[in-house]
Amino acid sequence: MKVQNALIIALIASLPSVAMAATPPNDAGAIVATAPGKALGASFMDMYATVEAVNKATREVTLKGEKGKLTTIVAGEEVKNFDQIKVGDTVVIKYRAALVLELKKGNKHLVSREEKEVATRANPGEKPSGTVVQETKVMADVMKVDKKNQMVTLRGPNRTVELHIEDAKQLKNIKKGDQVEATFTEALAISVQPATAMPIK
């Protein structure tokens, strides 16, 4: 995952550890849709963990995931609301991702890559929480179309990739020299909620 920002506890910094502690996710899924010259893929995952221990001296927080696995993380000094974290609180992690591909014909655009990120966090005195939204937009040239194997070769600013096109009708619209604009969006939200908010099984 590309989202990286020290805005809550090391909850974001150590997300892989939290994710392992909280798997399997309470809720996960995917959405796929197509339209002429466009394709959309989206996925979402919700994970939960319970605060088992808080060491104020070392700023360590021990979390228990849905399978009972314990994970200890360290809340950095940038976490202004550390004192609001209590044993029994629920840590809620929500992850969303979406990829949109759009075929561009006619006017040529420069092969490019753009990134932007927006982050928010809780106000002083509130339970720690925060969100990070990151968007990456890439413009790539269509270098090759292999209709037999339903493969399209795309060259972006940094590398060349091969993309399998599931929908044969979509493939008919793509020709060498066309361009494809890919927009990938990731959103991560982490919040600490009171013990009664959502018990972990």
Give the pLDDT confidence of 41-71 residue by residue, as tens digits. Answer: 888 888 888 999 999 999 888 988 878 888 8
State the pLDDT confidence band at 167, using cuts at 50, 70 and 90.
Answer: confident
Domain ranges of the chain: 10-193
What pLDDT was estimated at residue 4?
Answer: 34
Tokens 């561009």 correspond to: 104
Distance CA 36, CA 167 (A): 10
β-strands 38-55, 27-35: how paired? antiparallel
Closest alpha carbon to 94 in 10, 186, 194, 5: 186
Tokens 């909850």 correspond to: 11
Distance CA 100, CA 34 (A): 10
More confident residue, 81 or 185: 185
pTM (2 decimals)?
0.71
